[in-house]
Chain A
Amino acid sequence: MIDITYHHALLNNIFTMPIWYLRHDTRDALLDLITRLAAVADQFLKECLQMLVNNFTSPGSLGAFIDQPRWLARKKEIYSQLHGSLRMISDTVPLAPRMLKDIIDRSMPKLFDNKAKMVSFVECMLGLDNDRMGDLIGALLLAKVMDLLTELDVNISWEDVLQEEHNKGIFDMEIEDLDEDDDSLGKACFGGNACAEKLDGLMVVVCEHLKSCAEHGRLSKEFDILKTIFRASVLRVHKSKFAQFIMFYACSLDPEICGLEFALFLTDIFTKKEEDPISRMSAVSYVGSYLSRARFISADTVVGVLKRLVDWCVDYCDFQNKIGMSTKPINHQIFYSSCQTIMYILCFRLRSIMEYPNLKSQLFNMPFGYILTHPLEPLKVCLPPIVKEFLRQAKAARLDMFFPFDPYLLKESDRYMRPNFEFWSMVKTTYGNHNGDDDEFADLDAPEMNVGSLDDQVEIDFNSDDDLEYSMNKMSITPHRTFYHPMAMNSDAGLSMPAKIRPSVSPPL
Chain B
Amino acid sequence: MEALREAVAELTVYVHPSNAADVRRAVARQLSALLFSYEDRFDGVLLAHEVTVEGDQAKILNGLVPYFGVPVHANLLLYSPQPDMILEGKVELLGKESIHAIVLGVFSAAIMSDDIREKFKFKRKGDGGKFISWTDKQHVIRKGSMIRFSVKRVDTEMNCHITGSLIPPHTGSMIWLSIHDAEFAPEINSGKKRSSNIGIKIEQNEQDHRTDDVPFQAKRAAAWYHISMHSLILIQVLTAIAYSNSVEELERRDPNASHA
Residues of A at the B interface (CB closer than 8 Å) are 36, 39-43, 45-46, 88, 91-99, 135-137, 139-140, 143, 225, 228-229, 231-232
Contact = CB atoms under 8 A, between A and B. Distances in A.
Q: Majority SS of interface residues in chain A?
A: helix
B250 A229 contact: yes
B108 interface: yes
Nearest to B251: A228
Contacts of B155: 41-43
Contacts of A225: 247, 250
B117 to A, nearest CB: 19
Contact of A94 (B93, B102, B249, B253): B102
B108 A139 contact: no
Q: Majority SS of interface residues in chain B?
A: mixed
B100 A42 contact: no
A140 B253 CA distance: 13
A95 B106 contact: yes
Residue with the highest number of chain B CB atoms closer than 10 Å, among A40, A94, A137, A225: A94
Contact of A140 (B98, B157, B159, B250): B250
A93 B159 CA distance: 9
Contacts of A43: 155, 157-158
Contacts of A229: 250
Residue with the highest number of chain B CB atoms closer than 10 Å, among A43, A99, A139, A231: A139
Contacts of B240: 135
Given A39-B93, A43-B155, A137-B243, A94 B106 contact: yes
Nearest to B246: A140
B253 A232 contact: yes
B102 to A, nearest CB: 6
A41 B253 CA distance: 33
Residue with the highest number of chain A CB atoms closer than 10 Å, among B36, B92, B105, B112: B92
A322 B110 CA distance: 74
Interface in B91-114: 92-93, 95, 98, 100, 102, 105-108, 110, 112
Contact of B158 (A42, A94, A135): A42
A41 B112 CA distance: 11
A97 B239 CA distance: 12
Contacts of A46: 158
A39 B250 contact: no
A142 to B, nearest CB: 9
Given A94-B108, A98-B36, A232-B253, 14 more contacts: A36-B95, A39-B98, A39-B110, A40-B98, A41-B110, A42-B157, A42-B158, A91-B93, A92-B92, A98-B243, A136-B243, A137-B246, A228-B247, A228-B251
A39 B108 contact: yes
A225 B102 CA distance: 30
22 contacts: A36-B93, A36-B95, A39-B100, A39-B110, A41-B161, A45-B158, A45-B161, A93-B161, A94-B105, A94-B239, A95-B107, A95-B159, A97-B243, A98-B36, A99-B158, A135-B243, A136-B243, A139-B250, A140-B250, A143-B250, A228-B247, A228-B250
A50 to B, nearest CB: 14
Contacts of B102: 92, 94
A94 B249 CA distance: 21
A220 to B, nearest CB: 15
Given A41-B110, A43-B155, A228-B251, A91 B92 contact: yes
A97 B106 CA distance: 11
A93 B106 CA distance: 7
A10 to B, nearest CB: 17
A295 to B, nearest CB: 30
B107 A94 contact: yes
Contact of A36 (B98, B105, B107, B159): B98
Contact of A41 (B93, B105, B163): B163
Nearest to A41: B161
The 10 closest A-B pairs by CB, nearest first: A93-B108, A42-B161, A42-B158, A95-B159, A42-B155, A39-B100, A136-B243, A139-B247, A92-B100, A92-B92
Nearest to A88: B93
A93 B247 CA distance: 21
Interface in B216-257: 239-240, 243, 246-247, 249-251, 253
Interface string B159-172: 10101000000000
B143 to A, nearest CB: 10
B47 to A, nearest CB: 12
A228 B112 CA distance: 45
B9 to A, nearest CB: 23
Residue with the highest number of chain A CB atoms closer than 10 Å, among B93, B102, B108: B108
Contacts of A139: 246-247, 250
A137 B244 CA distance: 9
Contacts of B36: 95, 98
Contact of B159 (A45, A136, A232): A45
B232 to A, nearest CB: 11
Contacts of A99: 158-159
B115 to A, nearest CB: 12
B140 to A, nearest CB: 20
B134 to A, nearest CB: 25
A89 to B, nearest CB: 10
Contacts of A42: 155, 157-159, 161
B161 A232 contact: no
Given A136-B243, A137-B243, A95 B251 contact: no
